[in-house]
Amino acid sequence: MLESMRAATQGRLGRAVLTVVLGLIILSFAIWGIGDIFRGFGANKLAEVGRQEISTEAFRAAYQTELQRLQRQARRAITNDEARRFGVDRQVLSRMIGDAVLDQETHALGLAISDAEIGKAIMDDPAFKGPSGQFDRARFDEVLRDNGFNESSFVREQRGVYLRQELVGAMTNGLDLPKAMLDAIHRFQGEARAIDYFLLPASAVGEIAAPPEDELRKFFDERRQAYSTPELRSLVVLSLTPESAAKPELVSDEDARKRYEEIKGDKFGAPEKRRVDQLFFPDETAAKAARDKLDGGATFEEVAAQAGASPKDFALGLVSRAQMVDPAAADVAFQLPDGAVSAPVKTAFGYVLLRVSEIEPSTAKPFEEVRDEVKRDVAVARARGDIARLHDAVEDQRASGHSLAEAATAAGLEAAALPPLDAAGKDAAGAPVTGLVNAPALLKAAFASDVGVDNETLSLPQGGYQWFEVSKVERAREKSFEEARAQVEKDWRDRETAKRMGEKAADLTKRLDGGAPIAALAAESGAALKRAEGVTRGGGGDFPQPAVAQVFNVRVGGAGAAELDDGRLVFKVAGSSAPPVDYAAPGLASIADQVKRSYLDDLMGEYLAAAQTKLGVTINSQAFAAATGAAQGY
């Protein structure tokens, strides 16, 4: 084709045609946006703040740095879609715009910082100090390398950071919260109230008569979807685990007793313990010399003192075999008779002499009491090695066209037929189906499948495999009024009871506010009057937690009511107190710092908004979207 084009352009007419064609192509590029390259606002300019540009590369680098920081903090991968949902991309761009605004403001104010001051600030930065507490050049280079800086670019970046800090500090330093505000915060946090209250039971509104038929039908029609039956699925499930495949009846008494002797101290009671002393020596010769002194009549303590060891150095205390670090030392220590000292023992840490000064026997249950449990443990351990064979046997049967129940029987296993259940694992009556293995994964896979589908095998978290078949599907449907009548009437009565309870509680509250004694109203309602002291916003004593918020929504001396599961709580605030304010208390100081930071953030937000309006901010939405792979721009 190229040869044909070259031949066609040899003549004057051919060259004219090619010129027209190329001109049309260039014009189309200009019309569809490629002309930005020539107009000076290409895809590399993401934003413009006053006279300062933010490039796409700079934004992308800052965005990736922030994303990596969040991933290290969360200790998991965070996708671009997740980051965008949390607004990370917009936060990064807002921060970069804020920095650009402050950079131009510092320049306009003539702020500057010398190289010496920057150097000192960098050398004082704790991030660059080594174990000695001094500036570590190797660590400095490593941190810069990990963050994509070289020395010159980092110094340039830090110059801007320090100047921005100077500007912000000049606006925010010296801001202190007034004591009146601290007093109000302290009282809010520390206020404790005394509450007189009584519980108004549901029986206080009397018996609710059955509603007229037309009213009940209207109630049903308005809430028809609430009386739908969920989709139900019947499943055949085979869960293959070491526990399900274990055959304890095949374990002999001899094998079980052998296992019992290995674990009886740890599993069936307290293991044997011994009070052990362990004296270290630099070599075998020194250990033998010490042993000779013991044989000559010296005491263990005398030999230890000559070796420069005090009791706290050689006493291990009362320990079990498992608590001794070195196996060789443990073997010898648990064979010595009470009061004996060993010959030199070679351990991983050198030569030692061991002394046993007390023996506390094991208190394990006898074998006859735990025989069945031990056999079960042995059978489960054996089954772990047989899981792969059973898995292959089931898969071979399924590949041959057998049902899951038939495949399980052929492999010597038994599949379970589960009753119809919904996606939450509940049966048709709404009760949880018991005995579900790997329920979340099983239900998710089962409700994504259908009858007759050959499903993938599920891996069990505790080890093993799970197969399932959907044997029947009952689709979701709306119940008829007759089917739902009992539940509809109950719901209607519950609503009517709640409504009347609310009205009665409101009437009692109104009477309390009017001056009626709460004791008289409690007696009238047939309820016991109680008092709770020291109730704070965090609760207190036996006062019901769900009512605490309501208690602090009324004035001292005021009354109110709160809804509880078992009725309505009617209360009156009898009194209020707060501890003396301590401005130096850590709790108050912490709250004051939080409020102060909030004020500073608001102040800086107002300043940056005004500065951005003055300088002007333009954002290239297409470049912003392309930088993070978003479907739409800023």
Residue spans per domain, the chain? 2-38, 45-173+610-628, 192-220+485-577, 232-248+384-475, 272-361
Res 608 pLDDT > 60: yes
Indicate the pLDDT class of residue 100, thresholds 50, 70 and 90. Answer: confident
Instruction: Please give the average per-residue pLDDT across 177-188, as a whole number.
Output: 80
Least confident range from 38-47, 78-87, 405-414: namely 38-47
Each residue of 111-144: pLDDT tens digit? 887 878 888 888 888 888 877 778 888 888 888 7
Across the chain, what does the average pLDDT equal?
83
Res 12 pLDDT > 60: no
Cα(244)–Cα(629) distance, integer angstroms:
49
Q: Which residue has the higher pLDDT, 610 or 263?
A: 610
The reported pLDDT for the residue numbered 42 is: 52
Burial class (CB in 10 A: 0-12, 13-18, 19+), 49: buried
CATH of domain 272-361: 3.10.50.40
Please check whether the two domains, 45-173+610-628 and 272-361, share a CATH topology: no
Instruction: Please give the average per-residue pLDDT across 267-294, as a whole number.
Output: 89
User: What is the three-class DSSP state of 548?
Assistant: helix
Each residue of 74-97: pLDDT tens digit? 778 888 888 888 888 888 888 888
Res 67 pLDDT > 50: yes
Strand ranges in 74-223 using DSSP code E only, listed in sequence order = 192-200
Res 551 pLDDT > 80: yes
The reported pLDDT for the residue numbered 584 is: 74
Burial class (CB in 10 A: 0-12, 13-18, 19+), 431: exposed
CATH of the domain spanning 45-173+610-628, picked from 1.10.3720.10, 1.10.4030.10, 2.60.40.420, 1.10.443.10: 1.10.4030.10
The reported pLDDT for the residue numbered 2 is: 40
Cα(282)–Cα(277) distance, integer angstroms:
17
Instruction: Please give the average per-residue pLDDT across 179-198, as a whole number.
Output: 86
**What CATH class does 192-220+485-577 carry?**
alpha beta
The reported pLDDT for the residue numbered 555 is: 93
Q: What's the Cα-to-Cα distance from 207 to each of 200, 214, 221, 542, 551, rounded to whole Å?
A: 15, 20, 25, 30, 30
Nearest CA-CA partner of 246 in 376, 156, 133: 376
Instruction: Please give the average per-residue pLDDT across 476-498, as a whole number.
Output: 91
Model confidence pTM above 0.85: no
